[in-house]
Amino acid sequence: MGSGRVPNNSTLVCAPVMADSVDKMLINMDKAKEGGADLVEIRLDSLKSFNPFEDLKILIKACPLPTLFTYRPKWEGGQYDGDEKKRLDALRLAMEFGADYVDVELQVAREFNDSFNGKKPEKSKVIVSSHNYQDTPSMEDLGNLVARIQATGADIVKIATTALEITDVARVFQITVHSQAPVIGIVMGERGFISRILCPKFGGFLTFGTIESGIVSAPGQPTMKDLLQLYNFRQIGPDTKVFGIIGKPVHHSKSPILYNEAFKSVGFNGVYVPLLVDDVANFLKAYSSSDFAGFSCTIPHKEAALKCCDEVDPVAKSIGAVNCIIRRPSDGKLFGYNTDYVGAISAIEHGLRGSHDSSKSCDSPLAGKLFVVIGAGGAGKALAYGAQEKGARVVIANRTYDRARELADIVGGDALSLADLENFHPEDGMILANTTSIGMQPKVEETPVPKHALKSYSLVFDAVYTPKITRLLREAEESGSIIVTGLEMFIGQAYEQYERFTGLPAPKELFRNIMATY
């Protein structure tokens, strides 16, 4: 648990154990206990050979944690493809031998529960589950589904649905928080990820965390390590404030590492999660409670997010993009800010100052310089605006010339198409700033500008920070330019966001130390 504090919630962490032999399962059970799980889900359908009478005794006796037995048939997304009677007999046997929980599918739950004739083993609880691999039903249909599951005599209700959009998860949260019975509400897939992290906030009975990364029993499962250490799962309670990064893609982001570590270090009751969002307006409508207190905003949503805010900071307005949204607790109004340009411009100025005497420190080293911005999206606008404010002459280069022209007109600069940049050399000592995702993982071999064209630049900045040194930066350094990484901008823009999120001063040294290890 690390911090040694009392948990804020009673939501259990369950580690799925899938292996083709009982021996391998026993090894994984020990790993689950070491990793901090509260119970293990033993997936009997993953065993190559299974002798119920002997194997169940061994598994229950040897398990260092409480046990949940699942014997999932193919028709519900599992691997078992045999006789139904044998399958249910094995689950009944597990209960007789002292299993803490068994998981039975809704379709067969009533007959399973009736087969005990009122003599159900005391110790065992029956989880009745329903899996939907297509979508997440409406509120009304979810309510009816929970009622049907309860009517079978379930001790615990489990619904697993699939997220087509992140807004689907809000309905499952609502069902979980309002249900009288204990509920396990999981929304599968990357868009459903927050259902697995935030369930303690809404009173969920348990969540699943994998023993190792990559070995999942359902799409979207986090590792136990991430649950407990990165997301500080034990400390999430009903009054925990939720923050997150709105983007698409978003799972590469280092923001959750940075903010969660900082929250933990000062004991701030918040959690910061990745939010894979397709439509910002829909997202903000679905999560409109004051508990969803603030968001970072990244590609491709910075401009759309601005339109969703009730009030926008004047700087963000002139840039036409926000990367930080705060929900005012008193009335739920949304305020938009742009902390990108401060983060990037100050990192670039610092890079330039480092290279010569800064006795004229009141003047920006950008004054009078030719500043080439690649990209005309939200981050491109922020950099163009910031550079122009510092007295630089701005040139916008973009794949589509018309977008470049549009932005250039706003900031009073010139425009080029990206292809023209290869032979653009009006002077030496220019500054180049890439604000596109060219060169970002996984396409690390891409670069927006060929190496031979980099000789004219005294400094090259890349907003991409995964990987830290992109091909563009590597080739710029080889060409003799000063380089400034996206990590510098990332840390710079995070200071102000952290202060807006928490009302506390940013722990700058901690931020640098956290990011130094990545």
Task: Please name the amino acid found at residue 267.
Answer: G
How many Å apart are CA 24 and CA 292, to the nearest integer?
42
How many Å apart are CA 300 and CA 337, to the nearest integer?
16
Q: Classify 230 as helix, strand or coil.
A: helix
How many Å apart are CA 166 and CA 353, to the nearest integer?
44
Buried b or exposed e, range 30-49, using 16+ CB within 10 angstroms: eebbebbbbbbbbbbbbbee
Query: What does the block give as tokens for 285?
Result: 């409508």
Three-state SS for 439-497 is CCCCCCCCCCCCHHHHHHEEEEEECCCCCCCCHHHHHHHHCCCEEECHHHHHHHHHHHH
Q: What is the helix (H) or strand (E) element at residue 218, kind and residue range? A: none
Catalytically annotated residue among 131, 241, 254, 264: 131
How many Å apart are CA 335 and CA 289, to the nearest integer?
15
Residue 469 falls in which region: left (phi positive, over 0), alpha (psi -120 to 50) or beta: beta
Burial (CB count <10 Å: 0-12, 13-18, 19+), residue 510: middle
74 given a catalytic annotation: no
158 given a catalytic annotation: yes
How many Å apart are CA 413 and CA 421, to the nearest integer?
15
Q: DSSP assignment of 343-397, as one string?
A: HHHHHHHHHHHTTS--TTTTS-TTTT-EEEEE--SHHHHHHHHHHHHTT-EEEEE
Catalytically annotated residue among 55, 100, 168, 340: 340
340 given a catalytic annotation: yes
Catalytically annotated residue among 241, 254, 301, 302: 302
Q: What is the helix (H) or strand (E) element at residue 79, kind and residue range? A: none
Which neighbouring-strand residues pair with 482? 459
How many Å apart are CA 511 and CA 343, to the nearest integer?
13
Query: What does the block give as tokens for 271?
Result: 């959690």
Which neighbouring-strand residues pair with 325? 295, 336
Catalytically annotated residue among 45, 100, 103, 158: 158
How many Å apart are CA 214 and CA 16, to the nearest integer?
12
The residue written with tokens 């404030």 in the block is 241
Sheet holding 156-162, edge to edge: 183-188, 156-162, 125-131, 101-105, 67-70, 39-43, 12-17, 206-208
User: Distances from the Cα of 413 to the Cαs of 156, 188, 206, 372, in angstroms?
Assistant: 63, 47, 56, 10
Burial (CB count <10 Å: 0-12, 13-18, 19+), residue 187: buried
Catalytic (active-site) positions: 131, 158, 302, 340
